[in-house]
Structure 1
């Protein structure tokens, strides 16, 4: 029997192959978790230190790339250098904004009437 240009026996053979593959030993059906995993406890100081280390790393990388480009290293393109410098700049600006919010919150707490 032909169905739309494909022989029916070919369809049946493909279905048989899929069934054989699905029932192969060693394959387990996907497990769907219904309960959220408990969140790991993260200290604020550790999170802050990791964020600052990330900003520092991006700035060091941008500085290294700009030095390599200035020295004529062919492995560093102008676009790569500019992208890394912009990433470092954005990371630094975001860090400054977080610092400003923390300082503002500290002042608000210190000015509260007890």
Structure 2
């Protein structure tokens, strides 16, 4: 078994956190528009949407890879191939943090969607 590389997991988590920040920024802009305090009109471009979609897909794939790696390391520990429990625990923790960040992004997306639906009423 090779050693755990935190670079891939950190990149995935940082991508998710970047997406989360984009969602928060857009949500705040929507709230300003809804309250009538917006100084400029918001016009999303097509490239913004496609890059957001690509970034979200990439982040989800990274989270999936992190979870798959944690499962593989856990299985290797259970069969005696890996004897370093710290390596197993680190992989499980990275997987847990990545999944939790994904849940937070999902919650923000749902909140933004609900805000948009309220604007249409």
Does residue 77 (structure 1) correspond to residue 84 (structure 2)? The answer is yes
Once residues 78 and 50 of structure 1 are traced to their aligned partners in structure 2, the CA distance between those partners, rounded to angstroms, is 29
* 1:49 counterpart residue number: 57
Once residues 113 and 95 of structure 1 are traced to their aligned partners in structure 2, the CA distance between those partners, rounded to angstroms, is 27
Deviation of 1:69 (Å): 0.1
Deviation of 1:60 (Å): 0.2
TM-score of the aligned structures, taking structure 1 as reference length: 0.60
Q: Alignment length, in residue pairs?
A: 74
Once residues 102 and 111 of structure 1 are traced to their aligned partners in structure 2, the CA distance between those partners, rounded to angstroms, is 14
Query: Rg bigger for which structure?
Result: 1
Q: Which has the higher contact order (CA 8 A, sep 6+)?
A: 2
Gapped regions of structure 1 (runs ≥ 5): 1-40
Deviation of 1:113 (Å): 4.6
Cα RMSD between the aligned structures? 1.9
Which has the larger helix fraction? 2
Q: 1:88 aligns with which of 89, 95, 104?
A: 95
Greater than 3 Å deviation, 4+ residue runs: none
TM-score of the aligned structures, taking structure 2 as reference length: 0.57
Name the SS of the counterpart of 1:43 in structure 2: helix
Once residues 58 and 75 of structure 2 are traced to their aligned partners in structure 1, the CA distance between those partners, rounded to angstroms, is 26
> Aligned ranges for residues 1-114 of structure 1 at < 5 Å?
43-74=51-82, 76-113=83-120
Once residues 73 and 47 of structure 1 are traced to their aligned partners in structure 2, the CA distance between those partners, rounded to angstroms, is 35
